[in-house]
Structure 1
């Protein structure tokens, strides 16, 4: 039976005024670095702050345990 380990990453995406503030290149670079270490993105969830505005993005990654 395969065994997995999990990793969560949290990205601040909301700004004070409610807009989305994401450095897409930095986000992609972080995901690519994790991918090069064997991590696979399996889920992402945004957290609501107020009236549906996003505050954070949480991504869940997994890889086979060695």
Structure 2
């Protein structure tokens, strides 16, 4: 039976009121996790108000090493 481990990453948006995403920085973060074997399974934002985002929450998974 396959076993998985999960990682939750919180990425803070920038700007005075939030809502601005440094796409290059976010891509570097996601690519680095991908190189470590993590697969993105879900991604969503947390809202402040009127459509502005405070944080981006990303959930990753990878096969757990069982040592067998």
Question: What TM-score does the superposition give when structure 2 sets the normalisation length?
Answer: 0.84
Q: Match for residue 22 of structure 2?
A: 23
Question: What TM-score does the superposition give when structure 1 sets the normalisation length?
Answer: 0.86
What 5-or-longer segments of structure 2 have no aligned partner? none
Q: Match for residue 7 of structure 2?
A: 7
Q: CA RMSD in A?
A: 1.4
Q: Match for residue 39 of structure 1?
A: 38
